[in-house]
Amino acid sequence: MNPINPALIGGIILAGGRATRMDGGDKALVMLEGQTLLARTIARVRPQVGRLILSANGDPARFNGHDLPVLADPIGDHWGPLAGILAGLEHFRAHRPEISVMASFPTDSPFLPLDVVARLADCLKDSEIAMAESGGRLQPVFALWKISLAEHLRHALLGGVRKVDQFAQSYKCARVAWPEAAFFNINRPDDLQEAASRLNGLG
């Protein structure tokens, strides 16, 4: 099977989390050494995909400075990352029919691998999903999704499925391993301090 042309891979950054362990607000707009977490994610992700969009609910104007289309969840009320993934799949199916695969990313992993899409794409093959793992654990929002899953995902969400890995269990899902530290994510103020130390060469 020929490798997937990166220009024909869509990408969605999932920014719908409520950041309850960071005192609420938009985690995507938390500052890390002079840049928002979202800006750092965009810088690492944009070269890996042909088109990039953002999943977020509420007033999209708060993301105006980041130059991305913003999609609200198409169903549900904060039903989690699966609803954001559905938004992306349906968007690309409707507006970018040349795109057959979509990559998903969280906004709170400022050191995400620069080869995550390429490696996942190499392993997608006959699977419907390719998902990252590190340290023996799945990283379910770092994944490639075939656009053809859109209708199945909408049906699953309406049927009560909320967890990404729960949905993936019903389909062929390739797993691709990275070192444990590759997907360091920021959930608490202490994590933000550790990320700053890493950026400054102290961690």
1 pLDDT more than 60: no
Residue 180 pLDDT class (50, 70, 90 cuts):
confident
Query: What whole-number distance in Å separates Cα of residue 100 and Cα of residue 10?
Result: 8
Q: Is residue 1 part of a domain?
A: no
Q: How far is CA 186 from CA 18, 30, 49, 65, 195, in A?
A: 13, 10, 23, 22, 8
For the segment 132-137, the average pLDDT, to the nearest whole number, is 93
pLDDT of residue 22: 55
Q: How many domains does the chain have?
A: 1
* CATH number (domain holding residue 34): 3.90.550.10
Q: Is residue 82 part of a domain?
A: yes
Residue predicted with more confidence, 4 or 122: 122
Q: Is residue 29 part of a domain?
A: yes
Q: What is the mean pLDDT of the chain?
A: 92
Q: Is residue 186 part of a domain?
A: yes
Q: Is residue 33 part of a domain?
A: yes
For the segment 160-169, the average pLDDT, to the nearest whole number, is 96
Range of the domain at 117: 6-199
Q: How far is CA 8 from CA 103, 126, 143, 173, in A?
A: 11, 17, 15, 20
Residue 6 pLDDT class (50, 70, 90 cuts):
confident
pLDDT in tens, 81-96: 999 999 999 999 999 9
Q: Is residue 95 part of a domain?
A: yes
Residue 47 pLDDT class (50, 70, 90 cuts):
very high
Q: Is residue 47 part of a domain?
A: yes
Query: What whole-number distance in Å separates Cα of residue 104 and Cα of residue 41?
Result: 12
Residue 21 pLDDT class (50, 70, 90 cuts):
low
For the segment 141-152, the average pLDDT, to the nearest whole number, is 98
Residue 5 is classified by DSSP as P
Per-position b or e across 58-72, b if 16+ CB within 10 A of its CB: eeeeebeebebebbe
SS3 105: strand
Q: Is residue 31 part of a domain?
A: yes
pLDDT of residue 201: 81
User: What residue spans of 51-126 are helical by DSSP H?
Assistant: 81-95, 116-124
